[in-house]
Structure 1
């Protein structure tokens, strides 16, 4: 099926699912009940057309996903804070005095900026300086850029391995698996039940893990072809090109979600493999949370019905009514037209009739058709057969075409 467009994220003891301008967070509370919160988020792309351009939309989508992700993580964590209210820190008091009701939004913005800065420092700048240790072995910029890229990918995988050993993160990764399995269940046309979700894969092409791996991989390609002899210029280029690399990676993820081509599947393999580290098999309680999150913002039944109808129409459109003149009488019958010898003029006449739909010709079996050809077809019989083929519809061009056909049949018998 075509990509549903729904995406999500694992949070603390829960799952967030986003569909267009709505997202829902479903959290398993300490009392084991499921709390579902629905919010609206209007993308910048809805207000500014330029934000929908390729590459640019990827950068905006990445930033917006971080905003929603940070907000939903904070919400899910609020259910597991200690009952005793902690004293406010000096920083929180200062922020409250300076920004008042906007203090929370400012703190969130600063958190996102700090997270991006740390990620750039660890995965972009650190590999650059680490690669300089090999400059004594070679002065080839492309080789050094390749070494830098290998260090960057190694650091990323090592980071994922390290955090996957933390107990709290393991549970988040289980919810991550529930998120993927639920979306796969919907997009595979299955009813959204715990049993069906359990059988689905926990890997998905549009995963954030695949996106991050692509950022690392595409950066290698970018920096191999960028030549800067000065170390500091190379560092500035790493920082400035992060949005471009993120935008290109987003476009590939977007393509991968709607394509099954060999090349797309081939380049998606490393990211899917890495998801084995960032996802775990969820239990049924986690799957239940993910299902409620989906159903809060997405009508999966309507989506599946629409995809089935679209698939049926595509199959009908793929058939050529002229080449496939032999039509079955019913699903249970295998009788076909033994021969329909239309000349080129008749074929062209049939094709010009845009308003006439393809007709289902009710024919006898091959044995009965052979016997019928031995009989003289009277004018009345020909008219009756012609009316049967037309099913009551009147079209002068079709009438003339069928007259030519019956005349041809009579001449052949003579």
Structure 2
């Protein structure tokens, strides 16, 4: 990828794909009538958040929390679209009316509370995934051998096994299987764009569904690097071990984010490219080969995001002119 090529990211949603641009995040969803609908949300990052995004180690934590909070809106949009398509029209209309009345009573504080809940849910999930393997390992092997480093290695193996079992189990459900197919479609579009290809379904389908710069790779890195980082600080009992995991969790996340960026930067170097392979192997579970119509949705989302970013750049970006109608084609 050339230095001039922007580095885009995205995520799969129910029956669709979200892509994040410089100024706007766009979700495209395939509806039951085969129409593709869009959710377009301007990015309004605070100055202090943008500054933190430039600081090594801190930028990874900020990016993960921020994307978790903002991504919930796009997931909700896709879930509501799916529910609308799967529910009887009269029944859905009644529910929408109830939801509308609730939304009309929302204050700024309530909206802020929802964002905070999204962040707390993310943090709770990370803490639970970090601590559960600690208790499992201590219960099974607490008195089996000496040496905290060896216990850390076994804990890492347990964490990986639990993750693989979880991903395999949820991938067997029809909705999640299709979600993973859209995940593959997202990766294919980014890879085709980075290669300078014209974004047609035929061109995009030629590319791998695996990508170095993926959240699945990040999960794998937190497991591997967690073993290394946790082994730097010794512990003598379960209480110390738990406290160490909680305190060092931000360090593990920050370092993993930097290593992920590094593996992506050296992916074209013959020997160093193998550093990113464990994350790619995990993506064999979190992505599936997409159908052509799924790739079409992913391309539509990506093109719409690029179109809006270009329009905003052309007019001179301010948060006011984005919210003032530049996202509406009829006004642009």
Q: Same fold per TM (> 0.5)?
A: yes
Q: 1:230 to 1:262 in 2, by over 3 A?
A: farther
Give the structure-2-normalised TM-score: 0.82
Query: Does the alignment pair 1:290 with 2:282?
Result: no
Give CA deviations for 1:264-299 in whole Å, capped at 9, x if unaligned. 422210110111111111111111111111111226
Query: Does the alignment pair 1:154 with 2:161?
Result: yes
Runs of 5+ unmatched residues, structure 2 = 311-332
Hey, what's the Cα distance between the residues in 2 that align with 1:224 and 1:73? 37
Select the residue among 201, 205, 208 that pairs with 2:215: 208
Q: How does 1:97-136 map to 2 (within 5 A)?
A: 100-121=107-128, 123-132=129-138, 133-136=140-143
Is the partner of 1:199 in helix, strand or coil? coil
Kept in 1: contact 2:230–2:248 (CA 8 A):
no
**How many residues of Structure 1 are paired with residues of Structure 2 in the alignment?**
295
Query: Does the alignment pair 1:217 with 2:224?
Result: yes
Q: 1:105 to 1:130 in 2, by over 3 A?
A: same
Kept in 2: contact 1:45–1:57 (CA 8 A):
no
Is the partner of 2:144 in helix, strand or coil? coil
Kept in 1: contact 2:65–2:122 (CA 8 A):
no
The structure showing larger relative contact order (alpha-carbon pairs under 8 Å, at least 6 residues apart) is 2
**How far 1:41 sits from its partner (Å)?**
1.6
Q: Which residue of 2 aligns with 1:30?
A: 32
Hey, what's the Cα distance between the residues in 2 that align with 1:50 and 1:72? 24
Runs of 5+ unmatched residues, structure 1 = 303-414
Kept in 2: contact 1:45–1:52 (CA 8 A):
no
Select the residue among 171, 183, 198 that pairs with 2:190: 183
Q: 1:246 to 1:96 in 2, by over 3 A?
A: farther
Hey, what's the Cα distance between the residues in 2 that align with 1:96 and 1:118? 31
Q: 1:227 to 1:44 in 2, by over 3 A?
A: farther
Kept in 2: contact 1:218–1:249 (CA 8 A):
yes
Give the structure-1-normalised TM-score: 0.66
Kept in 1: contact 2:39–2:77 (CA 8 A):
no
Select the residue among 258, 274, 277 that pairs with 1:269: 277
**How far 1:38 sits from its partner (Å)?**
2.1
Q: Which residue of 2 aligns with 1:53?
A: 55
Q: Which residue of 1 aligns with 2:289?
A: 281
Q: Which residue of 2 aligns with 1:43?
A: 45
The structure whose residues are more often helix, as a share, is 2
